[in-house]
């Protein structure tokens, strides 16, 4: 079949998206690097741990919610561990498992860093969006993300006998947002 190229509208949207996402991530990385000494992803690791029950999470679960590979997470946690912000513990239920635990120092760093980060996200993104646009953005991104995960999961599910997975419960938590 002959390729269906992007329409002018799609093309404009695509280019705008690329530009915006590149600029936004760069800006946020720079801010976090300066004020927190770490890239955005590492901050997200801390933020996610702080939201988790007991401030700890299994590596795979964390990687999954962050949408990154396990090896990338291993690197991040290793670095954060070296800096004393996270500690590793082995999972008692599953001897293969490894838990990343947020240390007190990690909490402190997170609390010190969060305001500047949120301020930045606000200034660069939300202050420039109307409430409707916030809703639109969420809807668009949720759909896209679902589609992208759905692929893997449905493929995986189709290849599996058991379609539902049991996972350690997450949820709740009121802490320095991300």
Partner DNA sequence: ACAGCTTGGTTCAAGTTTGAAACAAACCTA
Partner DNA sequence: TAGGTTTGTTTCAAACTTGAACCAAGCTGT
Does residue 70 bind DNA (CB under 7 A)? Answer: yes
Q: What are phi and psi of 89, to 5 degrees?
A: -135, 150
What is the rounded distance in angstroms from the CA atom of residue 93 to the CA atom of residue 5?
A: 52
Does residue 135 bind a second copy (CB under 8 A)? Answer: yes
**Residue 50 CB neighbour total at 10 angstroms:** 20
User: Between 67 and 78, whose beta carbon lies closer to a second copy?
Assistant: 67
**Residue 137 CB neighbour total at 10 angstroms:** 13
Q: Indicate left, alpha or beta for 171 from its phi (over 0: left) and psi (-120 to 50: alpha).
A: left
Does residue 155 bind a second copy (CB under 8 A)? Answer: no
User: Between 147 and 169, whose beta carbon lies closer to a second copy?
Assistant: 147
CB of 131 to DNA, least distance (A): 31
> Among DNA, a second copy, none, what binds residue 12 when CB lies within 5 to 8 Å by partner kind?
a second copy
Residues 83-102 that bind a second copy (CB under 8 A): none
């Amino acid at each position: 079949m002959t390729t269906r190229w992007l329409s002018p509208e799609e093309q404009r949207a695509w280019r705008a998206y690329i530009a915006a996402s590149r600029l936004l991530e760069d800006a946020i990385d720079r801010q976090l690097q300066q004020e927190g000494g770490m890239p955005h992803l590492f901050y997200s690791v801390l933020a996610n741990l702080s939201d988790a029950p007991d401030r700890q999470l299994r590596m795979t679960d964390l990687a999954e919610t962050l949408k990154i590979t396990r090896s990338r997470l291993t690197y991040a946690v290793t670095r954060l561990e070296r800096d004393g912000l996270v500690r590793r513990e082995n999972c008692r239920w599953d001897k293969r498992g490894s838990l990343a635990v947020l240390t007190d120092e990690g909490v402190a760093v997170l609390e010190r860093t969060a305001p500047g980060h949120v301020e930045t996200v606000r200034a660069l993104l939300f202050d420039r969006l109307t409430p409707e646009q916030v809703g639109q953005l969420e809807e668009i991104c949720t759909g896209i993300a679902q589609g992208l995960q759905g692929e893997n999961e449905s493929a995986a599910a189709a290849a599996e006998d058991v379609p539902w997975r049991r996972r350690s419960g997450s949820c709740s938590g009121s802490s320095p947002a991300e």
